[in-house]
Amino acid sequence: MNLRPQQLDIVTMYTGGKLAVSAVPGSGKTQTLAALAAHLLARGLVGPESEVLVVTFTNSAVDNVKARIRLALRDLGLRDSGFRVFTLHSLANAIVRERPDLAGVTYDYRIDDELSNSRAMAEAARWFIQQERDYWLSFLPSGLTQQQRYQAESQWADDTARIGAEVTKLAKHLRQTPADVKALIAGDSASADSAPGHRLPVSPFLRIGAAIYERYDQVLRAGGRLDFDDLIWAAIRALNNDDDFRRRLGRRWPFILEDEAQDSTPLQEEVLSLLSREHGNWVRVGDPNQAIMTTFTASDVRFFREFKRRPDVKVMPLTVSGRCAPEIIALANRLVRWTTGAHPEPAVRAEALSADELIQPTLPDDPQRNPSTARIRLQAFDNEDAEVQKVAQSAARFVLDQPDRTCAILAPTNYFGQRIVQALEAIQARHPGMVLYQDQLRNAQPVRDVARVLAQAVRFCSQPTNMNALVDLRTAMIEAGVGPHGDVRNNRVKALLRSARPERLLFPLADSESPLPVGLELREREERELYTLAALVARWLRASVLPVDQLILAIAQHLFARDADLAIAHSLASSLRRYMSIHPDAHLADVARELDEIANNRQRYLSGSLIEAGFQPSKGQITVTTMHKAKGLEWDRVYLTSVDEIEFPHDASAGFRGQAWYLDGHDPALEARVQLEALAGGLVRREQAEADLLHQARLEYIAERLRLLYVGVTRARSDLLISFSRRRMERDNSAALAIRETLQWTA
Amino acid sequence: MSKRYLVGHPGTGKTTLLTDRLTELVNSGVRPDRILVLIPQESHARRFRAAFGRTRETVHASAEPKPRRARASAPEIHTFFGLAQRHVSLFFPRIAPRAGFANPRREPVWMNVEAAQYFLDRVAAPYVGDFEDLRMPHTRLLVQILDDLNRAATTGFALEELADRLMSAWHGAESRRHAYRAVQEIALAFRRFCLQHTLVDFSLGMELFRAHLLKAGFYREYVAARYRHVLADNVEEAAPVIHDFLCLLLETSDSAMIVEDDPGGFRINLGAEPQSARAVREACDWVEYVTDPRLLTDAPDSPSRFGQMLMQAIMEREGRAPLRSSAVEVLRSADGSPMRYWATMVQAAAERIGALIRSGVPAGEIAVVAPVVEDVLRFELEERLKDHSVGVYAVRPSRPLHDHPLVRALVTFARLAHLRWGQPASPQELTRALTLTISELDVVRAQIIADAVRRSTGSAGISTLPPLDDAVLWSRVGPQFCERYAALQGWLAQTAELEGHRAQGAPLDVFWQRFVGEVLSRPGFALHEDPDGALVCDKLIASARAFREVLEQSDLLPSALPTAELAVLGLGPRPDATETMDVGLAYITALTQNVLAAEYAPERSPEVPPDRVLLVPAYTYLTGDYRSRHQFWLDVNATSWHERFYQPLTHPYVLSRGWRPGTRWTDDDEQRVGRELLARVVGGLAFRCSDRIYLAAGELNVAGQEESGMLAQALRRLEIIG
């Protein structure tokens, strides 16, 4: 294995204790962790009944790390054992699974994935709106036109669900039950009465959030369901409830290596802290400048930074990166330096990015040298339409001209990404037979492919006499490259299928006549395809009396051979089992519709990064996705769109995205969150005014957006094309200050 | 020699010694009805009945007839709990006054687990807020409280001690103690409720047996006079209360032969406590260890020997010498590499089974065992064995009634026959129901029929089945299926018409009984050759009947209860079907809402047809005491091989008789029992296999995840798997 000097230092010098590794984008974090795990084993530091525990952020990283550790072990001439790779959730699941009684669940507990999770949250919010309709409506201003009123109501409903989601998420990370949150609210109101001078009025949004949290929790509890945060919380409970249990796991895993530590939430950190208490051997690798999950996961870059500052923690750098061209490295470093040294908000200077982790290009003898050529450009367009069209055209030209290179358009929001997709669709229509782009906005392609095939399979099972459904199923299978081989454009097979008698084709009786209309001659290849297909789907039809999750598992075993696809199918299956338990009257047709929603991106299935779903950029195709989802990936050319003051603000007193026009500029979810944090943690002094809390929250938002920009910039290997629109959302607009300053741009 | 206690491995002929003893007793002139045979489950009775039958043949064949009375009577053969329940029923009037019943003169109503859950649900309603730090479906809470009630009764501690026991073993967060107290309060409230209404659930029955009957002088005299000779099999599977009863018998009987299986104790979730059998052992005159010839040093390699080595490897956890055994085979994929996917594992097992059968092994001598048997495993194995023309006989552990597809079909037909419920079926439901009830009918033809029904009724909701006599339909579906549909439709129409004439229709259980008897059991319908399905239907009918009988006690209908009492019991009137007074609809509502998701005692283990491969979860294999020449162990990597059914509000060890109250339950204890349990399971399986064990696992389980349980670790230490 070829390691750089910095990597080698870590691998050879570490023998125990707490270590923080400050890494930069493209510096080989995973490779270092894998090599370290192998070396710990090689040095005999891990007993026969013990394992090195590696914790990564995503499922696909698990496979990646495993493969690398195996390689490293083979290089060292060692047996392929003695390590365990988990995501934090699968680790928590393993802990709970071992002692459900300690965790406070029964042996048959169920984990809610994000799909059923968001559905349950939406239902809880709807329940609240229904229960408290008048109160809820009272938030809307009077004197609206009917049209405005309709818009306001629908947005307020969305925002209500968002309040619920964010309050729930934060409360769980603060380990506050719904009852605790209620007590916090009530307690504070009581003290407010007694000491009117130090009053922190409880935001009505927090009350709404608390009510939705309570409802959501009740529903999950009654179903014996755990969402991802509950699962981690349950693992912490189990570890806290029995010291012997915690010590035993400590002995089983005498070394803990953690990847992506900057995205660790307080709950996640607590699990690893408990597990390492026995031996103190905990290596955390992270890049605080890439902490962009805070809004989604309640993680906070503060935690990793605090860890680095602890007196018992050794810090080592991992700052050499061969990913980007030197010019792009220089730009990224300038962004860090400008932010830490010159950002107009002092608090942002201190918090947003850290100059400890500046990127260094590789030395000449490095196995992975930086690309030599670079192109960086900032382009201004007159308006959004122009930006969308021009960016799409430019990217399309690039992949047509250079089919062996990779390219991505990264949008700050799904909405903007969607518009790019529409533009690309139009371009693609002019290039029949070519696939110019991949829409990776909401659900990653692999998830959608699996869902699409399963949807068609389940739909056909729900109406087995409908041969059009079988034709659709066949097309979906061929397109996804699974099932019997066939040519999707062979209209003859389609026509044959449509005219066949399904009962004779699929379930021939002993005396059956041919399923096909008289006078039709089949070519041999067609015949083979037809009857293979018939045998396969007849099997599924026989399985269609099974419970829906078991049916989907059965279908998946026949169709998919990739681990990731099987895992996706399984998680779809269990999600649909929960759907059926909530809707006991639902039929297979409803299940197929649910799968369609996922396949067609109408329903979000996994919010994580693309890399989580096992996505890898394809040459000659444009990946369209959000900056958030691009994490961990790289492309030869990257377009960063809408890099403006709306998406990347610098001034905490200016208006923000998220503020609701119908609520007089309030940002209800943010307010609820900030207040809850203040009430629960005493993070902010109680007498501090509400306005200060909001100001603080806005500063954090500014900081996170700067890190997102940093992530976007460091996705590009050679070409970085940044753009914005001069006029957007009916007002004048400029490029983000940070990018203007670092590029010394003048309009 | 008169009171013997035999201990030995499965397969060493202990039960044969018991049946021989029965023959010997009868042949020696002992009155058969003075002999008591106690067995763990009903299916074991066959061998004893057969043995007794043979004595009668010899009696008839011999020239000199024995005294007449001896021939007229038969030995009493009972399951452990069956006997206890029988005696409680018999002597109820004598023990009820002291047991706290409000109306001791009333005839008691025995509740099945569904009825018990139904009422416990109501009693528990006010307490649901007391389980803040726990997460489980509501039915799980009920199931655990019933388990606590049962353990208190069969172990022999007061319900008032329940919370203390659980609390003293616990050393985690305080909130759990609060939950334990709430559990105790609910259990006590439920007990009061039962005493108030003369309802007897399983726990109260056992409580009456242990605390009242066993202590009563009259009962001791009765037992002493009645049972002179005692034969008991598998006492390690019995609860302490049964051990008490056996000790009582041993004091007074003339002879006894008691058998303990080692390894055993697989009914731990049903209250079995092998350790408490020690008292029985000590009350015997002799303890004999039956030698296992398969383990003698000069015996050839056998699954038994492998089982013994594996048990040791599991218990010792030390690095052991590699084990080579010709009685074990590790399955690999076609190219010889370890198998990655779950589906590959199933395929490999199917291929190997096919090869065995081609080499002349009867299918019935082959068993496929997995820690958990999901539907998808059954389906996949069935499909793949079809290629080898072998059928699968799946024995499932108990599961909620409504999870059985056939039960859902019966519910659909009940709705179609009860117009007044206003619960039409959808075409999809009808398709499913037809597929499941008409033999060999495939989904496609079922759907063609359902489409025709919908066209004929003209609405999406089907409330009744019309006659169909469309020629095109007949040609597409085939005459045999059309005729069966016609039979089904005709019966339902006739029944619905009769229903319409009566003010109050026939009870639901009677409807189903007739439907099963007059339609489904006939040739061409699902139950004609499906004893499994018949068993499920029996259970459904029994459950519906018991539910009705309990609810028909007039004082239990919510409208008949005084409000104050309702409040005390936490039984607010519910807006469900009980108010419409239609018990059948109430039953279906409760069934489909899964309130009745009871854990059942294992279904009696059916005999495996000789031409089919047995597919069975490991525990069910052991409690059913199956034997095979070839065993396939699937998913050997799974952690479920050693995991017990963890539940936070009950505890099989802390609530056992051997537990010293006040002791803490530690993680070491947990590890120890996990190992013991696994060792017993693998030993129990291996000793029941005569020729060879096949080990199979994919690196990934059915969910695409890697697992590495204690079993896989032990196999790796022995270098049997890599």
Please check whether residues B393 and B411 belong to one and the same domain: no
Q: Are residues B470 and B565 in the same domain?
A: yes
Domain contains B206: no
Whether residue B537 sits in one domain with residue B409 = yes
pLDDT at B573 over 50: no
Show me where the domains of chain A are located.
5-98+230-318, 110-223, 375-443+611-742, 445-605
**Which of A214, A545, A551 to mutate against chain B (most B CBs within 10 Å)?**
A545
| Inter-CA distances, B121 with B59, B92, B142, B590, Å | 55, 27, 7, 11
* Last-in-domain residue among B533, B567, B592: B592
Residue A616 one-letter amino acid: Q
**Which of residues B271, B291, B311 is at a domain's end?**
B291
B507 sits in which H/E element: none
Contact A488, A475 (CB under 8 A): yes
Report the share of chain B in percent with pLDDT over 70: 89
Q: Which residues of B touch A566 (CB under 8 A)?
A: 341, 700, 703-704
Identify the top-confidence range among A343-357, B119-133, B135-149, B623-637: B623-637
Query: Do B386 and B430 belong together in one domain?
Result: no
pLDDT single digits (tens) A15-61 = 999 999 999 999 999 889 999 999 999 999 998 889 999 998 776 67
Within 10 angstroms of residue A690's Cβ, the number of other Cβ atoms is: 16
pLDDT in tens, B503-515: 556 889 999 999 9
* Residue B89 resides in a domain: no
Quote the domain boundaries for residue B470.
401-592
Which of A234, A463, A501 lies closest to B447 in CB terms? A463
B63 vs A208, higher pLDDT: A208
Answer whether CATH 3.30.43.10 is correct for domain A375-443+611-742.
Answer: no
Phi, psi (rounded to 5 degrees) for A642 = 50, 40
Q: Name the residue among A49, A179, A501 with its Cβ closest to that of B132.
A: A179
pLDDT in tens, A489-502: 777 888 888 888 88
Taking 3-state DSSP, the helix, strand and coil percentages for chain A, each rounded to the nearest 5, stand at 55, 10, 35
- Element containing residue B497 per DSSP (H, E): helix B479-501
Using DSSP, state whether B5 is helix, strand or coil.
Answer: strand
At residue A624, does pLDDT exceed 80? yes
Q: How far is CA A382 from the centre of its chain?
A: 33
Give me the count of residues in chain A.
747
Would you place residue A614 in the very low, low, confident or very high pLDDT band (cuts 50, 70, 90)?
Answer: low
CA-based Rg of chain A, rounded to a whole angstrom? 27
Higher pLDDT, B364 or A434: B364
Q: Degrees (nearest 5) of the Cα angle B88, B91, B92?
A: 70
Q: What is the pLDDT of residue A193?
A: 43
The lowest-confidence range among A711-725, B140-154, B370-384 is B370-384
Please give the structure tokens belonging to residue A407. 């390219």
Beta strands A716-728 and A731-732, pairing class: antiparallel
Closest CA to B445 of A466, A580, A465, A697: A465
Task: Say yes or no: domain A5-98+230-318 is CATH 3.40.50.300.
Answer: yes
- A189 touching B (Cβ < 8 Å): no
Give the CA angle between residues A623, A628, A634 to the nearest 5°: 50
CA distances for B541 relative to B435, B438, B511, B534, angstroms? 21, 20, 9, 10
Best mean pLDDT range from A519-528, B121-130, B204-213, B603-612: B204-213
| A613 vs B682, more confident | B682
Identify the pLDDT of residue A108.
81
Inter-chain residue contact A224 with B645, CB threshold 8 Å: no
Token duo for residue B358: 């081609």
Q: Which is more confident, B442 or A294?
A: B442
Cβ(B196)–Cβ(B571) under 8 Å? no
DSSP letter assigned to residue B172: S
Are B364 and B443 contained in the same domain?
A: no
**Angle at Cα B48 formed by Cα B538 and Cα B269, nearest 5°?**
55
Torsion of CA B498, B502, B504, B508, to 10 degrees: -10
Q: From B461, B481, B482, B459, select the one nearest B470 (Cα to Cα).
A: B482
Q: Which of A98, A220, A567 is the closest to B704 by Cβ?
A: A567
Judged against a pLDDT cut of 80, whether residue B109 lies above it is answered with yes
Token code pair at residue B427:
């075409």
Q: Does A106 contact B647 at a Cβ distance shorter than 8 Å?
A: yes
3-state secondary structure B352-377: HHHHHHHCCCCHHHEEEEECCCCHHH
Nearest-by-Cβ selection for A554 from B137, B380, B700? B380
pLDDT at B248 over 70: yes
pLDDT of residue B569: 36
Tell me how far apart the alpha carbons of residues A714 and A564 are, in angstroms, rounded to a whole number: 27
Q: Do both B395 and B411 map to the same domain?
A: no
Q: What is the pLDDT of residue A691?
A: 62
Across B88-94, average pLDDT: 94
A 10 A CB-CB count for B301 gives: 14
Mean pLDDT of all residues belonging to chain B: 86
Question: Which tens digit of pLDDT belongs to each residue from A65-112?
Answer: 888 899 899 988 888 889 999 888 889 999 999 999 999 998 888 877
Strands A18-23 and A313-318: parallel
ipTM over 0.90: no
Calculated CA dihedral for residues A614, A617, A619, A622, nearest 10 degrees: 130
Task: State the pLDDT at residue A200.
Answer: 60
Q: Is residue B529 part of a domain?
A: yes
Residue-level pLDDT at A581: 67
C-alpha distances in angstroms, A166 versus A415, A697, B548? 21, 14, 48
Q: Does residue A681 or residue A464 have the better pLDDT? A: A464
**Tens digit of pLDDT for each residue in A250-264?**
999 999 999 989 888
Q: Which helix (H) or strand (E) holds A368?
A: none
pLDDT tier at B635, thresholds 50, 70, 90: very high
How far is Cα A215 from Cα A221, in angstroms, rounded to an integer?
10
Of how many residues is chain B composed? 722
What gap in Å lies between CA B451 and CA B477, rounded to an integer?
A: 12
Record: contact B444-A244, CB cut-off 8 A: no
pLDDT of B670 reads: 92
Is residue B407 located within the same domain as residue B394?
Answer: no
Contact yes or no for B417/B513 (Cβ under 8 A): no
3-class secondary-structure state, position B308: helix
Q: Is the pLDDT of residue B402 over 80?
A: no
pLDDT of residue B580: 43
| Mean per-residue pLDDT over chain A, rounded | 85
Q: Which of A451-455, A600-604, A648-652, A716-720 has the lowest mean pLDDT?
A: A600-604
Q: Residue B65: its pLDDT value, please?
A: 52
How many distinct structural domains can be found in chain B? 4
pLDDT at A90: 86
* Contact: A546, B700; criterion CB under 8 Å: no
Burial class (CB in 10 A: 0-12, 13-18, 19+), B372: middle
Residue B678 lies in a domain: yes
Which residue type does A574 have?
A: S
Residues B147 and B284 in one domain: no
Domain finish residue from B236, B271, B291 = B291
* CA gap B279, B276 in Å, rounded: 6
> Which residues, including other chains, have CB under 8 Å from residue B316's CB and lie 6 or more apart?
none
Q: Which pLDDT score is estimated for A369? A: 87
Taking the alpha carbons at both ends of chain A, their separation in whole angstroms is 48
For B380, the closest of A225, A557, A585 (CB atoms) is A557
Contact A432/B at CB under 8 A: no
pLDDT score at A687: 46
Whole-Å CA distances, B530 to A463, B99, B526: 27, 44, 7
Surface-to-core class of residue B475, CB atoms within 10 Å of its CB (0-12 exposed, 13-18 middle, 19+ buried): exposed
What is the pLDDT, as a whole number, of residue B238? 94
Return d(Cα B492, Cα B417) in angstroms, integer: 6
Q: Which of A615-629, B150-164, B443-457, B584-598 has the highest mean pLDDT?
A: B150-164
Please report the pLDDT score of residue B552 as a whole number.
Answer: 75
Say whether A203 sits in a helix, a strand or coil. Answer: coil
Q: Is the pLDDT of residue A603 over 70?
A: no
Structure-model confidence comparison of residues A161 and B68, the more confident one: A161
A5-98+230-318 against A375-443+611-742: fold identical: yes
Instruction: Tell me what pLDDT residue B60 has.
Output: 57
Q: Quick check: B442 and A567 CB within 8 A? A: no
B465 and B580 housed in the same domain: yes
If asked whether residues B431 and B352 sit together in one domain, one would say no
CATH number of residue B258's parent domain: 3.40.50.300
- Would you call B173 and A241 a contact, using CB atoms and an 8 Å cutoff? yes
Q: Please give the pLDDT value at position A682.
A: 55
- Do the Cβ atoms of B312 and B717 come closer than 8 Å? no
Confirm if B75 and B36 have CB atoms less than 8 A apart. Answer: yes
- Window from A470-479, A515-524, A528-537, B543-552 with minimum mean pLDDT: A515-524
Between CA B207 and CA B188 the distance in angstroms is 13
Candidate ranges A21-35, A514-528, B567-581; pick with highest mean pLDDT = A21-35
Asked if A461 has any chain B CB less than 8 Å from its own CB, the reply is yes
Residue B93 lies in a domain: no
Tokens encoding B458: 């003209």
Task: Give the span between the Cα atoms of B220 and B250, in whole angstroms.
Answer: 12
Question: Quick one: B143 and B163 in the same domain?
Answer: yes
On whether both B476 and B524 belong to a single domain, the answer is yes
A550 touching B, CB under 8 A?
yes
Distance from CA of B442 to the nearest CA of A (A): 7
